[in-house]
Amino acid sequence: SLTIGIVGLPNVGKSTMFNALTRNNVLAENYPFATIEPNTGIVPLPDDRLPVLAKLVHTEKIVPATVTFVDIAGIVKGASEGEGLGNKFLANIREADAICEVVRAFEDDDIVHVNGKVDPADDIDTINTELILADLQTIENALPKLEKELRGKKVTPEYVNAVNEAKKILEAGETIDHAAQAGKINKDDIYDLHLLTAKPFIYVFNVDDAELSNEQLRKKLTDLVAPAKAIFLNAQFEADLTELDEADAREMLEDAGLKESGLDQLARVGFDILGLQTFLTAGEKEVRAWQIHKGWTAPQAAGVIHTDFERGFIKAEIVSYDDFVAANGSMNTIKEEGKLRLEGRDYVMQDGDIVEFKFNV
């Protein structure tokens, strides 16, 4: 399954956030390298529709989609040169499908900052520079071979041009993800290089309560990383939230003037940048959100439930979530009102589709 690697400088609150994400109790230590072994946390994708459906179809069982986070060891300057834990760090990032960069924006004199001061822009620069240098190394290593292959017509001039274009972007200090979002390069053209900075990025700013409601600061930090997504959360507050039962947690959120927890936001944005979406099934046995890639067709979606469903696919009976709720979950009403759609092999799945697949065995 696809994973999001959590990275950041030491002491920025990665462990605190990761532990809150997974609700486990690995100690958050106040020193670098505390999180050397990559840990995996699988968290539910928040989806308010599921309990609504469960009520309508009278089931207790809800199975949400999930988002997988991997906590990656704290990066240090010089990682790209294989210094210290550098190699391991880069290898772990290479395995992740997206990068969640945790950046410290909270001030606390008791908690040492590795660079001596709290400076989000500088911290992002430190991390991204290491990733960019590692990518430049990848390209330097690939180019001699590529030029030989070009002479032997084993690769196209367009491909070599795209690689050189990527090199220029990186040399200018920009990540490939950033450049791609700005329309400067197409990631697909250089997919074969598997560059670290071509992975989608999310930035999580770990802030204190005062900063959380400081619109000016938020705008400044949002602009700093745009068009990548920025999420603002207080890791300590999120950790405290996970200690409470649901009702108390909701009350604590409301008291803080928040509609949803930062971790829920992170799970949703993370799921989205991985290129994933869900479709729904609702029956007496269970209500479930199934994870597929954006753009998948009905037979591909069927294959997620069972390979037989894909092989023997005949059609998909689909009703939208809104129509299902409007009809109080009554299939008769849905059919009478012409809201049940029969979709074939080429149908591209849409978010909120409630599906029943028809298939041959």
**Residue numbering of the annotated binding site for ATP:** 11-16
Judged by CB under 6 A, which stretch of 9-17, 170-178, 181-189, 348-356 contacts ligand GDP?
9-17
Question: Strand order in 287-293's β-sheet?
Answer: 62-63, 287-293, 276-282, 353-359, 313-320, 341-343
Task: Name residues contacting ligand GDP, limited to 261-300 (CB under 6 A).
Answer: none
Judged by CB under 6 A, which stretch of 82-90, 126-134, 197-205, 231-239 contacts ligand GDP?
231-239
By C-beta, is 3 or 16 nearer to ligand GDP?
16
Judged by CB under 6 A, which stretch of 3-11, 212-220, 222-230, 258-266 contacts ligand GDP?
3-11
Asked if 38 interacts with ligand GDP (CB under 6 A), we say no
Of residues 3, 7, 15, 281, which one binds ligand GDP by CB under 6 A?
15
Of residues 3, 5, 14, 274, which one binds ligand GDP by CB under 6 A?
14
Of residues 39, 80, 128, 234, which one binds ligand GDP by CB under 6 A?
234
Number of CB atoms found within 10 A of residue 234's CB: 25
By C-beta, is 7 or 169 nearer to ligand GDP?
7
By C-beta, is 16 or 278 nearer to ligand GDP?
16
Asked if 206 interacts with ligand GDP (CB under 6 A), we say yes
Number of residues that bind ligand GDP (CB under 6 A): 22
Of residues 51, 55, 78, 111, which one binds ligand GDP by CB under 6 A?
111
Per the document, the length of the chain is: 361
The distance of closest approach from Cβ of residue 221 to ligand GDP in the complex, given in angstroms and rounded to an integer, is 14
Question: In terms of C-beta distances under 8 Å and separation of at least 24 residues, what long-range contacts does 272-276 make, across chains too?
Answer: 273/98, 273/200, 273/201, 273/202, 273/229, 274/2, 274/4, 274/67, 274/97, 274/98, 274/200, 275/2, 275/200, 276/2, 276/65
Judged by CB under 6 A, which stretch of 13-21, 128-136, 157-165, 314-322 contacts ligand GDP?
13-21
Of residues 3, 20, 35, 96, which one binds ligand GDP by CB under 6 A?
35
Judged by CB under 6 A, which stretch of 27-35, 194-202, 265-273, 351-359 contacts ligand GDP?
27-35
For the window 161-200, what string marks contact with ligand GDP as x by the rule CB under 6 A?
----------------------------------------
The distance of closest approach from Cβ of residue 239 to ligand GDP in the complex, given in angstroms and rounded to an integer, is 8
Please, are residues 131 and 197 in contact by the beta-carbon 8 Å criterion?
yes
The distance of closest approach from Cβ of residue 175 to ligand GDP in the complex, given in angstroms and rounded to an integer, is 21
Of residues 5, 8, 200, 270, which one binds ligand GDP by CB under 6 A?
8
Q: Which residue has the tokens 């499908």?
A: 97
The distance of closest approach from Cβ of residue 68 to ligand GDP in the complex, given in angstroms and rounded to an integer, is 18
Task: Name residues contacting ligand GDP, limited to 71-110 (CB under 6 A).
Answer: 74, 106, 108
Of residues 208, 211, 317, 356, which one binds ligand GDP by CB under 6 A?
208
Task: Select from 275, 288, 257 the least CA-distant residue to 356.
Answer: 288
Of residues 1, 24, 30, 330, which one binds ligand GDP by CB under 6 A?
30
Instruction: Please give the residue ranges that form the binding site for ligand GDP (CB under 6 A).
Output: 8, 10-16, 28-30, 34-35, 74, 106, 108, 111, 206, 208, 234-236
